[in-house]
Structure 1
Amino acid sequence: MKQQHLDQLEQYEKDFDHAIAENITKDVAYYRTLLSNIVMIGAPNEDWVLIDTSLKRYHKRIIHACETRYGTKAPKAIILTHGHFDHAGSAKKLADYWNVPIFIHEREMDYVTGKQSYPPGDPTVGGGFISLLSAIFPTKPEHLEKMVQPLPKNGEVPYLQDWKYIETPGHTKGHISLYRKKDGILIAGDAISTEKPESSWSVIFPLQHVYGPPAYFTEDWHIAEESVRKLAQLQPNMIIAGHGLPMKGTVMQEELEKLTSNFMELALPKHKRGH
């Protein structure tokens, strides 16, 4: 039995040995999952917070990535940029495992407490295979009752003194992004993408560009445009988006400015349900 247990542990490590966080700065790292990124804020051996939780059934990989960086030290909290299935999917399992609270904007609460479903994905937006699949993506509300609470209304992020959250609706009603002024790091969630989120090829072969939010799930394009403009005014030095590799430097800033100036032309789908 002991050997069997050791064999199981060895197989577990093999299954998840690719689940390793990549450092961005001393106290910021990210882990790229199948469809979206999660972000860890906090240096190893210090208090830390997890941003987003990817898909359901990804909790073991996320735990492996986090424990490789932090050991058995649990995060102080989980912050969700919004409640879509690829950002909140493993929130319940992770919050149970670590016994920590979850925070989300108050306008997202109904979607993560069983009260309201998101609009269905729109496969007519084009752009790639993921758009076609979006019609079957989960939109039913999560059930995070008793473990989720609204973020403070003053823009402060629990346990992250140097960070502020910014309301960036449009993709969803209560979408947020996080920003740290001292080094210009922007965690954009789905307000901005750094890969074409509609295309499965972008997942396999990530080519960095600045795109708008995932088209198949974006609810209000005019508000989404205002949110992108708000983020561009921050003049970030680095963008860590929900989809795509982190981007920084002159090319990122030029592409963000281009997206801001030509948002409807570049981001709005030319073929969209109801148009």
Structure 2
Amino acid sequence: MIRSNAAPTPVSSHNACPLAAMIGRTAVRALYAELALHPKPGLVSPLDSGSHDDMDMSTFLRSLFALRGYFRSIAAAGAEGAGFTTLRDLGIAAERRMLAATGGINTHRGAVFGIGFLAAAAGWRLRRGRTLRGAALGGTVADLWGTDILGAAPQAPDSHGGLAVQRYGVRGARQEAAEGFPTLFTLALPALDRALADGADPERALVHTLFTLMAELEDTNLLHRGGPAGLAFVQGEARRFLDRGGVFRAGWRAEALALHRACVARRLSPGGSADMLAAAHFVHALREGWA
């Protein structure tokens, strides 16, 4: 299992700050775990910058440092029952801090949005003594803020992901969140749980989950960089990796590194899958700390 270091605490109004702090730490650890993982085809890792010329691991670490208080704050706001506008404003301020820390480079916009709402939902549920099992967190996001998420004007309409959604008509992060993160709860988390149950250590389980996402997700980052052909290439190669045994097959690391090099050569980067992987780590770790 992938554990958080937090022990359950009785939930009441006077311990909302420790509760939010635990959620915030879990979010940052999840993002660091995704960053430190390798091999990750086309993505920034300790190995190299992948398909990115404008960022490396140090860029992401500066971003994480700038965001360390955001996830705690949005969890506390969720615990207090904050509305969409409050959560949105916290996210906008966090994104500004991220861009200031990275010199204008978007490292964690997807996590600010997706894990941010999941952290708010965790605060809301834990403050009220409710379970985090199943798709409870996603359901809370959809029930409390889903309509506003879809109805609000996009904060970054000209982002790479937003432009890919418009051009290719695929699902974007906003629709995913508004519907309760179905890809996270029906694909990513089951893949992670299954890999751990089958005996994979945390590193291999996360790689397995990443490749599962790469095989299925209509990743807007891939569409932006490579169009439908680039998306099809990564999906096909990820499916072949899994069909041949994935991380449970001898030589899996060399095979994953070969796909990494192929993605770099094509300038492809499955950033949407990476965001979803971090979210899966976050939710899994929360579940292990809380029933």
The two structures have a TM-score, normalised by structure 2, of 0.28
Query: Higher relative contact order by CA 8 Å / sep ≥ 6: 1 or 2?
Result: 2
Instruction: Pick the structure with more helix per residue.
Output: 2
Q: Name whichever structure is richer in strand by fraction.
A: 1
